[in-house]
Amino acid sequence: MSMPITELSTTALREHLAAELTRARARSAVLTDAVEDSELVRQHSRIMSPLVWDFAHIGNQEELWLVRDVGGREPLRADIDHLYDAFRHPRPQRPALPLLDPTQTRRYLGEVRSKVLDVLDRTPLAGRKLVEHGFAFGMIVQHEQQHDETMLATHQLRVGPAALHAPALQPARSSDLPAEALVPEGEFTMGTSTEPWALDNERPAHRACTSAYWLDTTPVTNRAYQAFLADGGYDNPRWWSERGWKHRCEAGLVAPQFWYRDGESWWRSRFGIIEPVPPDEPVVHVSFFEAQAYAAWAGKRLPTEVEWEKAARFDPATGRSRRFPWGDDNPTPAHANLGQRHLQPAVAGSYPAGASPLGVHQLIGDVWEWTSSLFSGYPGFAPFPYREYSEVFFGGDYRMLRGGSFGTDATVCRGTFRNWDHPVRRQIFVGFRCARDADPGRPHRRKPSWTEH
């Protein structure tokens, strides 16, 4: 869709919402139909739900918000609400719950969707904040796509032969990039007050300021990360924070998750395929603590969330903040690696059409990027439509992730979108890039480039 949502006629908006709901469900079906029912009910990791829980939770949230709240209809299955309440049942407990089986789940989701499409046809998409510009429907689309990425991460954790398949990556690539880009000091507009489907933690738009800094042009690559490994980075507490070193020792971390050493070579497991670690892809499946240690070893640091968003959105020629690094148009396959079109990050320097005006590449898609910032609300934050989406997580130990991954859908991957997770997590499709202050007097140990051999 090229026209902004806010400019669509009511009929066109309904058609767009129906298409997005259908597209999200098709992806959910791919992820759940790819394996036998026995695999859907199994818990593949204690930090993840069984796939069938995520699938039914998608339908339950859709019923709660669109059938009951927006549509004012009678509940279909009020008796299962407590089973799919993420705050009531931690993930390790969910396999023991009397969950809907895969057949029941598919039937339930079909019944809910039928009701939702009827609600969409009959509901005025104006006059209530919850439905203005189709917000509630867009929120549910984003919710399903977010859980699809969660289910994709569960697929990466499952043991067995490959169940998912996608074409190989052959994106355009810039072959001669500088290692870093300079981001000038000054103010810019962070967040949004106009993006119709933006979630509460992205709001409101406000002025933020940074000093000048250098930011890696691309995410840190496997080749660069292997240099950290070869230099004994996991054995030297000098590079790690006190908490990070404690976790590295207790968890026995020796390399990114899913990496294996075979002689002098590093291999990885990727969705059931064992393959050599591609040197020029962004490193993925590293915790915040590992990213922080690498940055210290490289003589750099992780960017703050403000710095990340400024690099991704600020246009120095106009002084305005864009929706995406390349402009205001929605992502296309030429801009970024999104939406599970592929099952791995693209090599560093890919998607030159998606670069920011400052020359920073791959800020959207490929890998989520750790920042050094904790999760909190922006000045003037107001919870909407419920506190449990964002506010209850403020003040915890969560670190901010930005930019999306190859498994993130475009509907949840704008320049303002905020994600967060515990600093020990690495099952998610997360990497990082480094920053450093633009201060010539500051000691600097090394500046590894993605082209370094």
Each residue's pLDDT tens digit, 346-376:
999 999 999 999 999 999 999 999 999 999 9
Q: Report how far residue 115's alpha carbon sits from residue 68's, in angstroms, rounded to the nearest whole number.
A: 10
Q: Report how far residue 284's alpha carbon sits from residue 244's, in angstroms, rounded to the nearest whole number.
A: 18
Q: In order of start, what are the domains of the chain with their CATH numbers? A: 5-157 (1.20.120), 167-453 (3.90.1580.10)
Q: Report how far residue 289's alpha carbon sits from residue 295's, in angstroms, rounded to the nearest whole number.
A: 10
Q: Report how far residue 208's alpha carbon sits from residue 220's, in angstroms, rounded to the nearest whole number.
A: 26
CA dist 325 to 84, 174, 313, 320, Å? 37, 16, 5, 12
> Which residues does residue 262 pair with via DSSP β-bridges, in sequence order?
265
Hey, what amino acid is at 313?
R
In this prediction, residue 173 carries a pLDDT of 85
Over pLDDT 70: what percentage of the chain? 96
Reported confidence tier of residue 342, pLDDT bands at 50, 70, 90: very high
In this prediction, residue 171 carries a pLDDT of 83
CA dist 311 to 49, 54, 326, 369, Å? 35, 34, 11, 13
Question: Which residues contact residue 384 at a Cβ distance below 8 angstroms, ignoring those fewer than 6 apart?
Answer: 129, 200
As a whole number, mean pLDDT of residues 185-191 equals 98
Highest mean pLDDT among 2-6, 407-411, 435-439: 407-411
Instruction: Check whether 428 has a pLDDT greater than 50.
Output: yes
Residue predicted with more confidence, 177 or 440:
177
As a whole number, mean pLDDT of residues 257-284 equals 96
CA dist 41 to 105, 273, 418, Å? 11, 22, 30
| Cis ω for the linkage preceding 204 (within 30 of 0) | yes
Tokens representing 137 are 């429907």
Q: What integer best gives the mean pLDDT of the chain?
A: 95
Reported confidence tier of residue 440, pLDDT bands at 50, 70, 90: low
> Which residues does residue 188 pair with via DSSP β-bridges, in sequence order?
208
In this prediction, residue 1 carries a pLDDT of 58
Reported confidence tier of residue 441, pLDDT bands at 50, 70, 90: low
Instruction: Check whether 49 has a pLDDT greater than 80.
Output: yes
Q: Report how far residue 207's alpha carbon sits from residue 227's, in angstroms, rounded to the nearest whole number.
A: 39
CA dist 334 to 52, 337, 357, 406, Å? 34, 8, 16, 13
Instruction: Check whether 37 has a pLDDT greater than 50.
Output: yes
In this prediction, residue 92 carries a pLDDT of 94
As a whole number, mean pLDDT of residues 298-324 equals 98
**pLDDT tens readout for residues 66-121:** 999 999 999 999 999 999 999 999 999 999 999 999 999 999 999 999 999 999 99
Reported confidence tier of residue 314, pLDDT bands at 50, 70, 90: very high
In this prediction, residue 176 carries a pLDDT of 86
362: alpha, beta or left? (left if phi > 0; alpha if psi -120 to 50): left
The SS3 of residue 182 is: strand
In this prediction, residue 174 carries a pLDDT of 82
Reported confidence tier of residue 133, pLDDT bands at 50, 70, 90: very high
Count CB-CB contacts under 10 A for residue 249: 12
Residue predicted with more confidence, 207 or 176:
207
Are the C-beta atoms of residues 152 and 31 closer than 8 Å to each other? yes
Instruction: Check whether 453 has a pLDDT greater than 60.
Output: no
> Which residues does residue 276 pair with via DSSP β-bridges, in sequence order?
267
